[in-house]
Amino acid sequence: MITDQIKNEVERLSLSEKLLIVEDIWDSIAASNSQIPLHDWQKMELDRRYKEYQEGDLQLHSWETVHKGLRKKYK
């Protein structure tokens, strides 16, 4: 099927069916995430952040604090 045909078929589905398909797609992506290429600068940034975390130099925030801050900022 080509993309437009898929879109047309998806439009005909109920919301719950669409959500199940989205879940299946995300699961498929997660299963093959090793195939997603990272640029060198991305790897370097991840390594830098992980090193900061290991050394205790990274300021961590709980999910609740981050969530409250975002809610307040975008209210």
- Say whether pLDDT at 56 is over 80: yes
pLDDT tens track for 39-48: 999 999 999 9
Q: What is the DSSP letter of 60?
A: P
Whole-number pLDDT of residue 45: 96
Task: Name the burial class of residue 21, with classes exposed (0-12), middle (13-18) and buried (19+) by CB atoms within 10 angstroms of its CB.
Answer: middle
Above pLDDT 70, what percent of the chain?
A: 99
Q: Cα dihedral sign for 9, 10, 11, 14? A: positive
Structure pTM? Answer: 0.46
- Say whether pLDDT at 51 is over 80: yes
- Say whether pLDDT at 72 is over 70: yes
